[in-house]
């Protein structure tokens, strides 16, 4: 006769086998990816076009434009932690789930805030600067309310490493799809209107409306499976933050993210200036976006193969390494000629797809790592703290171009000096490559979680009946 203890252990092992088996259907994975496509329909408008909108249409200086990004993103980083703490502390979770209601109820306000940030009222210089700060800070707060629960959602959908990689693949497909759409349609849409001050809010508003629809599809078709409702215990939020500070995997991942995301967004923020003034091809952004989208599917396919072969960690290292090599080649040899630039830049973007894809699976793994070490599962706080890091990097990526443009003597809508053109080249190629090189060494030698290690941790949590 099987003893009760043996039977209990058998049940635990059976539970681990069940939760460790890939189970997400195509429809659910695709719907999750469409959620980030919806995010990008609003977020990418600001990241790609807002600095140039500030300097060339609203009419504030590049320094103040960069300062808006810096202050707003730092403000938003703190909003992220507040949203994450609130999400984790929710009690009496209803049928809509722990994370999904924020997507449902937050999407329309986010769309409205997106449009507001691209309106240029007839104010004096001080009024315009205040308007830029107010509208972009409002947008970032609204974005946090949707994006933090959305990002936390994946950890509750599955604990299987393969499923999480697939969710990251579909999420990156959505994210890159949004960059493609933003890069290829915004300027042509804006040019259809008699002036850009009118064209920008209408074009951005149309894309934001599409984003709302995509958010609703995501909300409807994804399912939360691994949700822990915390008891109302005094100081639990503080304990969760303390456990996160002690989470070495999170610390390394956050540092790596700070550097790599800053490099990525730095390129996005400076590309319009580089194309217009160095390459004399202001409309090149649409063609570059098209090429980046063309290589997306092969990049995602290679990411899936590499992840199965060498694991997520080494997959990210390979991708970052390839990106660095290409940026150095463009800086030294190929970046001044449109044809050679496009070839090398497309290869660079191909490599960048790889680490950007697996990044979202890392943070979901870190949730279990922290739970395994501390006994506290806190998807919201973990993801919001990770997002805090991303927002700081975005703040720097928004501020550095504005500051650098001022330092190298940039003047809008006129021919630039040789020193300014050289500075744009450093900003577009060299700075991102150096940041990613530092990130590569930190991640390669410091990040402790391989796929094999994570699987062992999930098994232990299942045996402890904590998931």
Is the pLDDT at 445 greater than 80, yes or no? Answer: yes
Q: Which of 245, 288, 255, 257 is nearest to 376 (CA)?
A: 245
Query: Average pLDDT, stretch 161-180?
Result: 84
Query: Average pLDDT, stretch 141-145?
Result: 93
Is the pLDDT at 448 greater than 70, yes or no? Answer: yes
Is the pLDDT at 373 greater than 90, yes or no? Answer: no
- Per-residue model confidence (pLDDT) at position 239: 64
Quote the crossing angle between the two packed helices 338-374 and 451-463, to the nearest 10°: 30
- Per-residue model confidence (pLDDT) at position 236: 53
Round to whole Å and give the CA distance between 313 and 317: 7
Q: Contacts for 183-191 with beta carbons within 8 Å, 24 or more apart?
A: 183/48, 183/285, 183/286, 183/288, 183/289, 183/290, 183/292, 184/286, 184/289, 184/290, 186/45, 186/48, 186/49, 187/283, 187/285, 187/286, 188/286
Q: How confident is the model at residue 237 (pLDDT cuts 50, 70, 90)?
A: low
- Per-residue model confidence (pLDDT) at position 94: 74
Assess contact for 64 and 54: CB atoms under 8 A: yes
Q: How confident is the model at residue 37 (pLDDT cuts 50, 70, 90)?
A: very high
- Per-residue model confidence (pLDDT) at position 19: 55
Is the pLDDT at 392 greater than 80, yes or no? Answer: no
- Per-residue model confidence (pLDDT) at position 142: 95
Instruction: Tell me which architecture the domain covering 24-463 has in CATH.
Output: Up-down Bundle (1.20)
Alpha helices in 46-99 (DSSP H): 51-53, 62-89
Q: How confident is the model at residue 146 (pLDDT cuts 50, 70, 90)?
A: very high
* DSSP code per residue over 93-114: --TT-SSHHHHHHHHHHHHHHH
pTM more than 0.75 = no
Q: How confident is the model at residue 3 (pLDDT cuts 50, 70, 90)?
A: low
- Per-residue model confidence (pLDDT) at position 225: 83
Of 70-84, 94-108, 232-246, 316-330, which gets the smallest average pLDDT? Answer: 232-246
Is the pLDDT at 20 greater than 80, yes or no? Answer: no
Mean pLDDT of the chain: 84
Residue 66 vs residue 12, higher pLDDT: 66
CA distances from 367 to 4, 72, 84, 269, 326 (A): 32, 27, 13, 31, 33
- Per-residue model confidence (pLDDT) at position 69: 83
Q: What percent of the chain has pLDDT over 90?
A: 33
Is the pLDDT at 188 greater than 50, yes or no? Answer: yes
Round to whole Å and give the CA distance between 207 and 173: 17
Q: How confident is the model at residue 405 (pLDDT cuts 50, 70, 90)?
A: confident
User: Between vectors from CA 263 to CA 257 and to CA 264, what angle results, nearest 5°?
Assistant: 90
Residue 216: count of CB within 10 angstroms of its CB:
17
Taking 3-state DSSP, the helix, strand and coil percentages for the chain, each rounded to the nearest 5, stand at 80, 0, 20
Query: Average pLDDT, stretch 53-60?
Result: 89
Give the pLDDT confidence of 201-233 residue by residue, as tens digits: 999 999 999 999 999 999 999 998 876 665 555
* DSSP code per residue over 259-327: HHHHHHHHHHHHHHHIIIIISS-TTHHHHHHHHHHHTHHHHHHHHHHHHHHHHHHHHHHHHHHHHHHHH
Assess contact for 84 and 380: CB atoms under 8 A: yes
Quote the tokens at residue 200: 């920008």
- Is the torsion defined by CA of 47, 53, 58, 62 positive or negative? positive
Q: Which of 217, 223, 218, 216 is nearest to 95 (CA)?
A: 223
Residue 3 vs residue 139, higher pLDDT: 139
Is the pLDDT at 1 greater than 50, yes or no? Answer: no
> In 3-state terms, what secondary structure has residue 451?
helix
Is the pLDDT at 374 greater than 90, yes or no? Answer: no
Alpha helices in 375-416 (DSSP H): 379-407
């Amino acid at each position: 006769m099987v003893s009760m203890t043996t039977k209990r252990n058998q049940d635990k092992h059976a539970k681990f086998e069940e939760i460790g088996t890939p189970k997400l259907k195509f429809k659910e994975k695709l719907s999750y990816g469409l959620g980030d496509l919806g995010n990008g329909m609003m977020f990418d408008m600001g990241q790609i076009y807002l600095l140039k909108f500030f300097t060339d249409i609203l009419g504030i200086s590049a320094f103040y434009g960069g300062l808006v990004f810096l202050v707003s993103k730092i403000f938003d980083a703190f909003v992220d932690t507040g949203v994450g703490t609130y999400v984790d502390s929710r009690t009496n979770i209803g049928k809509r789930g722990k994370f999904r209601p924020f997507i449902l109820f937050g999407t329309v306000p986010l769309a409205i805030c997106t449009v507001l940030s691209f309106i240029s009222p007839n104010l004096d210089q001080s009024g315009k600067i205040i308007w830029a700060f107010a509208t972009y800070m409002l947008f970032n707060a609204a974005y946090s309310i949707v994006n933090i629960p959305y990002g936390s959602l994946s950890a509750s959908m599955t604990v299987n490493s393969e499923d999480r990689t697939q969710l990251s693949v579909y999420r990156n497909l959505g994210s890159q799809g949004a960059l493609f759409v933003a890069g290829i349609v915004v300027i042509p849409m804006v040019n259809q209107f008699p002036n850009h001050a009118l064209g920008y809010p209408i074009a951005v508003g149309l894309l934001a409306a599409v984003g709302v629809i995509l958010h609703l599809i995501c909300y409807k078709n994804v399912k939360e499976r691994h949700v822990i409702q915390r008891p109302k215990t005094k100081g639990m939020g503080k304990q969760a933050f303390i456990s996160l500070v002690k989470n070495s995997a999170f610390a390394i991942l956050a540092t790596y993210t700070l550097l790599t995301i800053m490099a990525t967004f730095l390129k996005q923020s400076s590309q319009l200036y580089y194309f217009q003034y160095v390459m004399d091809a202001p409309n090149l952004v649409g063609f570059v976006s098209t090429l980046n989208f063309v290589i997306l599917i092969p990049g995602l396919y290679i990411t899936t193969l590499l992840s199965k072969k060498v694991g997520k960690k080494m997959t990210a290292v390979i991708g970052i390494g390839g990106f660095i090599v290409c940026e150095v080649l463009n800086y030294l040899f190929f970046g001044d000629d449109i044809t050679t630039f496009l070839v090398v830049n497309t290869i660079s973007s191909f490599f960048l797809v790889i680490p950007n894809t697996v990044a979202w699976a890392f943070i979901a793994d870190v949730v279990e790592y922290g739970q395994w070490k501390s006994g506290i599962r806190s998807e919201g706080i973990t993801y919001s703290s990770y997002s805090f890091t991303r927002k700081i990097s975005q703040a720097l990526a928004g501020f550095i171009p504005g500051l650098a443009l001022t330092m190298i003597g940039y003047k809008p809508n006129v021919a630039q000096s040789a020193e300014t053109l050289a500075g744009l080249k450093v900003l577009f190629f060299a700075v991102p490559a150096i940041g990613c090189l530092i990130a590569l060494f930190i991640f390669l030698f410091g990040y402790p979680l391989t796929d094999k290690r994570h699987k062992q941790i999930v098994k232990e949590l299942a045996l402890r009946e904590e998931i």
